[in-house]
Amino acid sequence: MKRKTVLAQIATVAFAAIGAALLVGCASLHTPHGGFVTLAEAVPDAILEIRYYSTYNFVGERIDGYEQPCALLSKEAAKALKAASDDCVRRGYRLKIYDAYRPQRAVAHFVRWADDICDTRMKAPFYPNLDKSVLFKLGYIAERSGHSRGSTVDLTLFDMKTGKEVDMGGTFDWFGVESHPDYRGISAAQFKNRMLLREIMVSHGFKPIAEEWWHFTLANEPYPDTYFDFPVHE
């Protein structure tokens, strides 16, 4: 009887340990960081076109870590983006989101792609005027991205009257000086549209960068030194 009791106790402890391990594993794999929210819920008026979940991006395939076509941001950045979205709606526009939080594994995928200089299948729509070998040197690809800190978003404006994206004089993820916000080789109307997007985002706490008209980071981001790697899913 004693031997059976001991064996039963050992089995109980073992099953409990296995169960705890499974719970920990599930939490690490499937539970996004508690400081993040989905933009579909936090900014319901925004349109989502998550390019790195699709194959229409400069790599030409779905990017590692994008498990669902959704967008995540830190709670603080999402709150500020909601205010920007409300501002857009009052002006007759909606925000269209291309990317938000980006796992570090996605950045690593970009790096591997950039190292393979023979893979140029998406050169025509994204970098026709550049040799792929210079993408690191010119800063288009890097080993870390501000997106992985969870408070950066890539976006444009959508005109509710015309039912189309606003003409920014260039496309998302175009590698070239034409993507610089202050590039003047575009029409006056296109430049004005870029400045309108910048005005809206800056007025709601975001800061732009000099190389990409679509890229904005919350000025007071909550995780300025942390690069997250949990996958993108709801």
Positions marked active-site: 212
Q: Which amino acid is at 232?
A: V
In angstroms, the CA 82 to CA 9 distance is 54
3-state SS of the chain is: CHHHHHHHHHHHHHHHHHHHHHHHHHHHHHCCCCCEEEHHHHCCCCEECCCCCCCCCCCCCCCCCECCCCCEEEHHHHHHHHHHHHHHHHCCEEEEEEECCCCHHHHHHHHHHHHCCCCCCCHHHHCCCCCHHHCCCCCCCCCCCHHHHCCEEEEEEEECCCCEECCCCCCCCCCCHHHCCCCCCCCHHHHHHHHHHHHHHHHCCEEECCCCCCEEEECCCCCCCCCCCCCECC
CA 199 to mean position of chain CA atoms: 21
Spatial contact of 123 and 58, defined as CB atoms under 8 Å apart: no
